[in-house]
């Protein structure tokens, strides 16, 4: 593509905040049809109550987008190729198919299982803080802490060699980068699946105690090799891109709100509420998977015909005064679970308990280790074109 890419409206931000146009849309008509720069016509849904309604209704709002909507760039692929790229992707299917896949994974992400992982996560966090401290200031918080901690955690959980991280981090980052063409993103997706297929084959020969080993051992007869590769590929991507950016952007948010940060340092028992508030206020996942209407529907008094794409704008919904008063203010003392940063409905983030646990451990450990943590003069680099919002770099000193 020769033209400079244009950022879709639902992904536009001013630093931490959704752009004023999105807030105005939420306070105004609530729902609007737009042509995304990808060439796809879609309805943006912006209010909290409407977003919950859409995400909570998988019958009228399907995740099987390809059935009704053609994404520009898809023409060059055969139906068989596209089906292989979707196999095992829980975000591209509805119940009962979705239920079948998700039920295999839920035992691995229970609150109890997450508690059992806590000591190992504390160790990983401490090791990275040690290395940061040894290296001395300044340090890039993204590459020294925010990215490697969740990356190592998901690698150990899945059974992915962490020594491969350079390659798979590059690939997952490309899969999510909308400044690249559909072909480039699909190529990265294909490579990711090929890589994961190799790990699945190894797990099939000698299943370990990790998640891939469990899937092969307990569900090997129900899952195709393509599905196994798809599940592994999605979990690897989701496991580090999201938490990494919450850690980096959340730290910057605290540094830019010194009163809030001081309160959290003084009263660390506030961490659970603080994490929920940061999740709400930052809403790093702009929209989650696009939906397609399976029938004529009405949202916020607007009629949307059958077979149209619907995009839930999570940052706008989480800044709705209908959710919390004075929603644009970061206030770590409120911190309810009611936000939609992890989505809602049957596709609610499978890894949410893992993400919460990692964030509840990592933020306090970072603040405790570096009482003088601060930004240097170098401006942090926001990453705008990624499906997951966040920072490419955040230089800090202490």
Partner 1 sequence: MVTLRVRADRDVCIGAGMCVLTAEEVFDQDDEGVVVVLMPEPGAGRAEAVGRAVAACPSGALSLEGDQPPVR
- The site for partner 1 (CB under 8 A) is made up of 56, 99, 102-103, 106-112, 323, 336-338, 342-346, 348-350, 352-353, 356
Question: Which of residues 133 and 222 has its CB atom nearest to partner 1 in the complex?
Answer: 222
CB of 312 to partner 1, least distance (A): 13
CB of 270 to partner 1, least distance (A): 16
DSSP state of 199: H
Distance between CA 178 and CA 39 in Å, rounded?
A: 12
Distance between CA 182 and CA 40 in Å, rounded?
A: 12
Question: Which of residues 19 and 105 has its CB atom nearest to partner 1 in the complex?
Answer: 105
Question: Which of residues 147 and 271 has its CB atom nearest to partner 1 in the complex?
Answer: 271
CB of 350 to partner 1, least distance (A): 8
Distance between CA 308 and CA 289 in Å, rounded?
A: 14
Q: Taking CA 242 as the corner, what is the angle to CA 89 and CA 270, rounded to the nearest 5 degrees?
A: 130
Contact 186, 391 (CB under 8 A): no
Question: Which of residues 103 and 378 has its CB atom nearest to partner 1 in the complex?
Answer: 103
CB of 218 to partner 1, least distance (A): 11
Residues written for the chain? 398
CB of 122 to partner 1, least distance (A): 19
Question: Which of residues 6 and 337 has its CB atom nearest to partner 1 in the complex?
Answer: 337
Question: Which of residues 38 and 352 has its CB atom nearest to partner 1 in the complex?
Answer: 352
Distance of CA 104 to the CA centre of its chain: 21
Distance between CA 76 and CA 59 in Å, rounded?
A: 30
Which of 1, 22, 2, 20 shows the shortest CA–CA distance to 10? 22
CB of 159 to partner 1, least distance (A): 19
């Amino acid at each position: 593509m020769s033209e400079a890419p244009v950022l879709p409206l639902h992904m536009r931000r001013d630093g931490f905040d959704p752009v004023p146009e999105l807030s105005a849309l939420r306070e105004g008509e609530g729902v609007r049809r737009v042509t995304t720069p990808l060439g796809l016509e879609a309805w943006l849904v912006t209010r909290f109550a409407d977003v919950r309604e859409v995400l909570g209704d998988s019958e009228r709002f399907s995740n099987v987008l390809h059935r009704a909507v053609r994404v520009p760039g898809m023409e060059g692929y055969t139906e068989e190729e596209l089906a292989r790229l979707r196999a095992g992707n829980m975000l591209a299917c509805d119940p009962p198919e979705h239920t079948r896949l998700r039920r295999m994974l839920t035992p691995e992400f229970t609150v109890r299982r997450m508690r059992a992982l806590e000591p190992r996560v504390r160790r990983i966090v401490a090791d990275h803080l040690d290395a940061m401290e040894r290296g001395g200031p300044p340090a890039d918080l993204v590459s020294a802490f925010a990215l490697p901690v969740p990356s190592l955690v998901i690698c150990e959980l899945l059974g992915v060699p962490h020594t491969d991280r350079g390659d798979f981090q590059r690939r997952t980052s490309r899969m999510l980068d909308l400044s690249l063409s559909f072909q480039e993103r699909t190529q990265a997706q294909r490579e990711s699946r090929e890589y994961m297929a190799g790990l699945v084959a190894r797990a099939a020969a000698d299943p370990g105690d990790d998640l891939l080993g469990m899937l092969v051992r307990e569900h090997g007869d129900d899952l195709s090799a393509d599905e196994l590769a798809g599940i592994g590929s999605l979990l690897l991507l989701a496991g580090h891109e999201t938490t990494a950016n919450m850690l980096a952007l959340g730290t910057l948010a605290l540094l830019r709100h010194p009163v809030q940060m001081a309160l959290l340092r003084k009263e660390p028992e506030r961490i659970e509420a603080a994490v929920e508030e940061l999740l709400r206020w930052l809403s790093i996942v702009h929209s989650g998977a696009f939906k397609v209407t399976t029938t004529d529907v009405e949202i916020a008094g607007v009629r949307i015909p059958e077979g149209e794409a619907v995009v839930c704008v999570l940052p706008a919904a989480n800044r709705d005064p209908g959710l919390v008063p004075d929603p644009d203010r970061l206030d770590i003392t409120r911190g309810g679970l009611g936000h939609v940063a992890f989505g809602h409905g049957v596709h609610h983030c499978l890894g949410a308990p893992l993400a919460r646990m990692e964030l509840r451990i990592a933020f306090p450990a970072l603040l405790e280790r570096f009482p003088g943590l601060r930004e240097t003069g170098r401006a942090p680099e926001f990453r705008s074109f990624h499906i997951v919002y966040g920072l490419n770099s955040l230089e800090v000193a202490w």
